[in-house]
Amino acid sequence: MGPRYGNLYYSGEAVPGAVVAEVVNDTSPELKMDVKTRFSIGPVVARDFWTKERSAMDIDRGPWHLPHEYAVALARREQQWIEKYAIPKPANDQLITSTAQNSPEAHLSLLKQYLQVAPYLLPADDPNLVASTIWHTDLHAGNLFVDKGRITSVIDWQEAWAGPLVLQGRHPRLVDYQGDIILRPPPNFKDLELNEKARLKKQIASSIILYLYEQQTAKLNPNLNRVLRLKLGRVRCEPISFVGDTWDDDILPLRESLIKVESHWHELGFNFACPIHFTQDELQRHTEDGEGWNEVQDFWGAVEGIVARDGWTPHSMYDEAVALFSELREFGLKNLIGKERKDFEAQTRWVESSSQSHNDGNAE
């Protein structure tokens, strides 16, 4: 798409602030004209810009002409919301994860630090990496229609918007795999137990699919390949990903991402001092705040080959994912007592229903 970032609309809808959508790559002139006459780029409709009181607030929803304008708008939005609507929990609330999490001032201070580096995070000096790009965020087998080996339709585009490629580009769920890459069986494969053979076959299949996807991407979509392999790409993008809702979500990931920005500032290519600085006392408090949070992240890191952090798992790994959470549920029910056990039982009841529905499906 052209040098604007926002949601896609039909031109006839006369959306306030919308501008003509333009395709700027080497697509045919006919397609470029078709897009230009039929579509426009306007304000974003992402839930984060409209949830709670944000729907009635006068905030910048785009469209944006420069990539850093989007990065800045995210923090400005949260600043305005926290200043007006953030209500701290009672000091004795057991759900408070840290003093900073319950302090509007701590959130506003961190957002101020974010804004000091936000204009520099995206590689705006490379137009290809920040090109306005429409990206399907949930590309898995259930959203693809295939006939005779060819994709005939892709559904579930409602979350798609035109954003900077460096923020959009990622491995589709269809091919995403976080385990060890194994492209061929080990020499002792014939001697392994049947269940180990089955596990290895799944691992090899996932590895080959990812390998082929990356090889073809390098040939057919070199800009996406550059994004996937961008040095310190996560350091650049994670602050933008985490800034959106620290009050109702968590302040720790944003702070951690900004600490990494300071730590890698010169590696990112800047020849001037980082605009933000965390003192040793602040780093120590961050470490203390993050002890429980890090344990959760370690857990998700340990199971990332089976289930993603948002709960998604490929069909081939579904049985293993259900078995994993069934064991965790059983362990919790055995070791918890009183209200904790009652709450845990209710919160994990979905594990039993998932297992039962999957077994019923296999029986059919």
What residues does each domain of the chain span? 313-364
Task: Give pLDDT < 50 ranges for the chain.
Answer: none
Determine contact, residues 15/61, Cβ cutoff 8 Å: no
Q: What is the pLDDT of residues 105-141, one digit of tens each?
A: 999 999 999 999 999 999 999 999 999 999 998 888 8
| pLDDT at site 330 | 84
> In 10 A of CB 364, how many CB atoms?
4
Q: Measured between alpha carbons, how far is residue 341 from residues 10, 95, 333, 337, 351 in Å?
A: 52, 16, 6, 5, 15
| pLDDT at site 237 | 97
Q: What is the pTM of this model?
A: 0.79
Q: What are phi and psi of 44, to 5 degrees?
A: -75, 150
| pLDDT at site 2 | 56
E strands, 167-216, are none
| pLDDT at site 255 | 97
Long-range contacts at 323-327 (CB < 8 A, ≥ 24 apart): 325/351, 325/354, 326/351, 326/352, 326/355
